[in-house]
């Protein structure tokens, strides 16, 4: 039986990954400091060990295990969620990446680092081989992206001079059941508004392009990378077939949920403050992942939207959250 550590294990991706690995019979340890968790520790205590603490605080405790695999997912996340951690994101990202790397080295565990498509800092269809340039405008999202990139570089360089087994994944716009609107994620924001009968607020003119990837496809990709033969890879994970404009996504949510909500165009800086930034177009080139992994994304955008609608419909208590007002003071 494999022993697996998931940092950020009570988060959106981490909890779906924990479900899959528990089903496969792995012995799991989840570490999460409950800053943006979507699952509660008690939801998982009967299937695995849950450590409620920051990765930074539990190095000694983690050194007492023998992990075969480490998925390092813990991070500040979200287009609006990162804003309140401005100036702290780089330290936390690089430090936790370093801790995960050292743990993997000392225990000879396989390591997977969750990076982000934001490292590209560019718009368009993004392949792993394009340069990741650091622009001169120091936005909060750049702090997130640059720190993730630094973590990638450090871990991959460490693997050049040691027997560290590490791979890096750059996911593109993960979506699906359990994701909460609080971090500014667009699909749950729209679904909550549609089910509440309030307007779906689209930023700018809604022409921004994204390719949403179902969290269950991401989890399958993470496991495929972790259990594959190769180390030292950087791989995009995403579903270009799900490319859509944000305005069209709003229309799809209204249609699938049967809502009577209006769609309103607004300036996101009015809600999230002047620090808010977003790119115009981000679509993954996933040829590398398709050619190197036994992995194909399975979930259409319609299925992801419909499952997300059902998720919130069956949990009316989540519809009472008012994420935009909460974030508006930033
Ligand atoms: N959601 C996306 O669209 C997306 C896109 C690209 C990359 N990613 C990356 O995927 C990973 C998982 O993202 P997610 O969407 O599940 O986010 P999430 O916020 O749902 O999960 C992250 C979890 O980590 C925990 N956490 C944060 N800092 C911690 C720390 N220092 N110690 C312990 N726990 C900590 C949070 O409480 C949360 O439960 C992150 O590394 C993120 O950068 C996500």
- pLDDT-wise least confident of 12-16, 246-250, 268-272: 268-272
Domain boundaries, given as residue ranges, for the chain: 3-174+214-239, 175-211+241-281+298-327
What's the pLDDT at 321?
59
| Residue whose CA lies nearest to ligand 1 atom number 2 | 174
CATH code of the region 175-211+241-281+298-327: 3.90.25.10
Minimum-distance ligand 1 atom for the alpha carbon of 39: 39
pLDDT digits (tens, 9 = 90+) for 149-192: 999 999 999 999 999 999 999 999 999 999 999 888 999 999 99
Question: Closest ligand 1 atom to the C-alpha of 180?
Answer: 20
Residue 328 has φ and ψ, to the nearest 5°, of -65, -20
Q: DSSP string spanning 209-261? A: EEE-EEHHHHHHHHHHHHHSS--S-EEEE--GGGEEEHHHHHHHHHHHHT---
Percent of the chain with pLDDT over 90: 83
Residue 322 has pLDDT above 90, yes or no: no
CATH superfamily of 3-174+214-239: NAD(P)-binding Rossmann-like Domain (3.40.50.720)
Q: Is the pLDDT of residue 326 over 60?
A: no
In short, whether 176's Cβ falls inside 6 Å of ligand 1 is no
From the candidates 65, 144, 276, 311, give the one annotated as an active-site residue: 144
33 CB under 6 A from ligand 1?
yes
CA atoms within 13 A on the CB side of 209: 14
228-246 average pLDDT score: 96
Atom of ligand 1 nearest to the CA of 13: 16
């Amino acid at each position: 039986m494999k022993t697996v550590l998931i940092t950020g294990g009570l988060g959106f991706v981490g909890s779906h990954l924990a479900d899959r690995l528990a089903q496969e019979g792995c012995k799991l340890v989840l570490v999460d400091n409950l800053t943006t968790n979507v699952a509660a520790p008690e939801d998982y205590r009967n299937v695995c060990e849950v450590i409620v603490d920051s990765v930074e605080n539990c190095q000694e405790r983690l050194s007492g295990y023998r992990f075969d695999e480490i998925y390092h997912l813990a991070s500040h996340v979200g287009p609006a969620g990162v804003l309140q951690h401005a100036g702290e994101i780089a330290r936390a990202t690089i430090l936790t990446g370093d801790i995960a790397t050292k743990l993997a080295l000392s225990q000879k565990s396989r390591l997977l680092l969750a990076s982000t498509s934001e490292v590209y800092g560019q718009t368009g269809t993004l392949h792993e081989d394009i340069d990741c340039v650091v622009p001169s405008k120091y936005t909060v999202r750049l702090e997130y992206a640059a720190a993730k990139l630094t973590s990638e570089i450090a871990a991959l360089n460490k693997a050049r001079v040691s027997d560290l087994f590490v791979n890096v994944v750059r996911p593109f716009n993960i979506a699906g059941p359990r994701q909460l609107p609080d971090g500014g994620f667009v699909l749950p924001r729209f679904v909550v508004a549609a089910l509440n009968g309030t307007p779906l607020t689209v930023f700018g003119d809604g022409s921004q392009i994204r390719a949403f990837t179902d969290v269950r496809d991401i989890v399958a990709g993470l496991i495929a990378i972790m259990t594959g033969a190769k180390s030292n890879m950087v791989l995009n994970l995403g579903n270009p077939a799900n490319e859509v404009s944000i305005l069209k996504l709003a229309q799809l949510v209204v249609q699938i949920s049967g809502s009577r909500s209006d769609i309103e165009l607004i300036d996101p800086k009015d809600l999230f403050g002047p620090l808010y930034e977003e790119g115009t177009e981000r679509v993954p080139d996933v040829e590398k992942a398709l050619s190197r992994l036994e992995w194909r994304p399975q979930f259409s955008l319609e299925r992801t939207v419909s499952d997300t609608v059902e998720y919130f419909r069956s949990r009316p208590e989540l519809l009472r959250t008012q994420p935009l007002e909460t974030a508006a003071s930033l």
